[in-house]
Amino acid sequence: MLGQQETLPLWQEKTQLSSLSRLLGLMRPSSLRQYLGSVPLPPSQEQQPKASAELDHKACYLCHSLLMLAGVVVNCRDITPDQWGDLQLLCMQLDRHISAQIRESPQATHHTMLKDLATQTYIRWQELLTHCQPQAQYFSPWKEV
């Protein structure tokens, strides 16, 4: 995500949610850890677990920040019925790439905080989906086609 040369059309309202759904998969903590881990770890055996834990913490912090920004992008706008599918895709991406990928543990409270944020964001987006659900077009034999 950080090394891409592609310019995203985020200023165009119609493409913001679809662009965000592509980027949500890249916000996965394991992907961020892999990107951040391209910097070599310390060679000594004693420092490797500490460096690995620090890398995990940085990846979770970056994912938390990006997820907060994604929440701001979605929550600061009125979702129109034609954007309903994009928001539904965002919810699925959030659940698949962020929530399902985080393993909580008592030693890693930053994982719990990230999973809580992902859950709260998912709930907010689901509430938006219920408020902007497109009206179904039913067939009416009395209406001319």
**Structure tokens that stand for 19 in this block:** 């662009």
pTM of the model: 0.71
Whole-number pLDDT of residue 120: 92
Mean pLDDT of 7-30: 69
Whole-number pLDDT of residue 41: 54
**Structure tokens that stand for 94 in this block:** 């959030």
Interval 86-124: pLDDT, tens: 888 888 888 888 887 788 777 778 888 888 999 999 999
For residues 58 and 23, which has the higher predicted lDDT (pLDDT)?
A: 58
Mean pLDDT of 125-139: 72
Q: How far apart are CA 96 and CA 25, in angstroms?
A: 8
User: What are the C-alpha distances in Å from 105 to residues 42, 58, 70, 97, 118?
Assistant: 25, 17, 25, 19, 16
The domain spans of the chain are 50-133
% of the chain residues with pLDDT over 90: 3
Whole-number pLDDT of residue 42: 55
Q: Per-residue b/e over 90-123, b at no fewer than 16 CB within 10 Å?
A: bbebbeebbeebbeeeeebebbeebbebbeebbe
Query: What integer best gives the mean pLDDT of the chain?
Result: 76
Whole-number pLDDT of residue 46: 56
User: What are the C-alpha distances in Å from 85 to residues 1, 21, 64, 113, 139?
Assistant: 24, 11, 24, 28, 22
Model confidence band, residue 11 (pLDDT cutoffs 50, 70, 90): very low
Q: How far apart are CA 85 and CA 14, in angstroms?
A: 12
Model confidence band, residue 39 (pLDDT cutoffs 50, 70, 90): low
